[in-house]
């Protein structure tokens, strides 16, 4: 059994400052196995109620991880890494939002830059996936982010706005609340690169996203989390920013010690 070491009280302060519950999500991508599930589920995480911890393993591990979470009375929540735009039918290899929900997922990542780059996930598809997840009572973690070239050409905010636009349209047309939605700002140049955005760079885009989403129902409840090379060395400074409500973590979520090290401490 793993027990975190240092326990001071940043998480409570975070809650008071941000008025939104901090969310730390681990995205295992195409990694992980039953043993890693068992290690995470049997770990005693800081239990302060001011933040949520979500692990997004590959879909085949969701159900067994769900059982391990129950067995160990773990505070972990589960998320999927993608979802189909379809609800059911002849779509070989797809997984529906309802299936994710039944497997125990409370969250679902959509629009990750790897899905956009390698699997032709468009802004419009991401918006459909968001609606599918919400209808199945699964909270979407909608990823947005600009390439290095876009940033160099001062196109960051334009790219983000184009990615948000169909999302906002669906939310407004269907009068869906922002309270179940998470936006993950993940600059492509920071993902898996050991070159995280600086807290100031991330804050600038998070603030822009918050302003852009201001007309959507319950906008003040929208959680915007940062992803891209988050580690124990940089998480506290990122989470201290007023519009950063959590972190989406790839590489550092594959090892229990590095993951524990980046959590807000209670």
Q: Would you name the residues annotated as active-site residues?
A: 112, 186
Q: CA 46, 138, 197 angle in degrees (round to 5)?
A: 60
Q: Which C-beta is closer to ligand PGA: that of 176 or that of 249? A: 249
The residue from 52, 121, 146, 186 that contacts ligand PGA (CB under 6 A) is 186
Q: Quick check: helix, strand or coil at residue 98?
A: helix
Q: How far is the CB of 254 from ligand PGA (least distance, A)?
A: 9
228-261 CB burial, b ≥16 within 10 A, e <16? bbbbeebbeebbbbebbbbbbbbbbbbebebbbb
Q: How far is the CB of 114 from ligand PGA (least distance, A)?
A: 7
The residue from 36, 251, 259, 266 that contacts ligand PGA (CB under 6 A) is 251
Q: Which C-beta is closer to ligand PGA: that of 27 or that of 43? A: 27
CB-nearest residue to ligand PGA: 250
Residue partners of 51: CB distance under 8 A and separation at least 6: 11, 14, 15, 21, 22, 23, 24, 246, 263, 264
- How far is Cα 205 from Cα 203, in angstroms, rounded to an integer? 5
Is residue 229 at the binding interface for ligand PGA, with CB under 6 A as the rule?
yes
Q: How far is the CB of 9 from ligand PGA (least distance, A)?
A: 25
Residues that bind ligand PGA (CB under 6 A): 27, 186, 191-192, 227-230, 248-252
């Amino acid at each position: 059994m793993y027990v975190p070491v240092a326990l001071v009280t940043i998480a409570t302060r975070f809650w008071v400052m941000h008025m939104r519950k901090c969310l730390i999500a681990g995205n295992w991508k195409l990694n992980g196995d039953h043993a890693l599930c068992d290690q995470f589920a049997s770990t005693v995480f800081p239990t302060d109620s001011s933040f949520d911890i979500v692990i997004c393993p590959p879909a085949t591990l969701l159900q067994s991880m769900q059982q391990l979470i129950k067995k160990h009375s773990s505070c972990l929540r589960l998320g999927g890494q993608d979802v189909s735009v379809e609800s059911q039918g002849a779509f070989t290899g797809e997984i529906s939002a309802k299936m994710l929900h039944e497997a125990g997922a409370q969250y679902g990542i959509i629009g990750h830059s790897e899905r956009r780059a390698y699997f032709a996930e468009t802004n419009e598809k991401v918006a459909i996936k968001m609606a599918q997840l919400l209808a199945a009572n699964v909270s979407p973690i909608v990823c947005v982010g600009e390439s290095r070239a876009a940033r160099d050409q001062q196109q960051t905010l334009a790219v983000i706005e184009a990615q948000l636009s169909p999302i906002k349209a669906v939310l407004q047309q269907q009068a869906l609340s922002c309270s179940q939605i998470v936006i993950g700002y993940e600059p492509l140049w920071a993902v898996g690169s050991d070159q995280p955005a600086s807290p100031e760079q991330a804050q600038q885009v998070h603030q822009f996203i918050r302003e852009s989403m201001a007309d959507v129902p319950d906008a003040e409840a929208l959680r915007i989390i940062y992803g891209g090379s988050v580690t124990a060395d940089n998480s506290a400074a990122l989470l201290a920013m007023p519009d950063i409500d959590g972190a989406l973590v790839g590489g550092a979520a594959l090892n229990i010690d590095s993951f524990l090290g980046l959590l807000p401490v209670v």
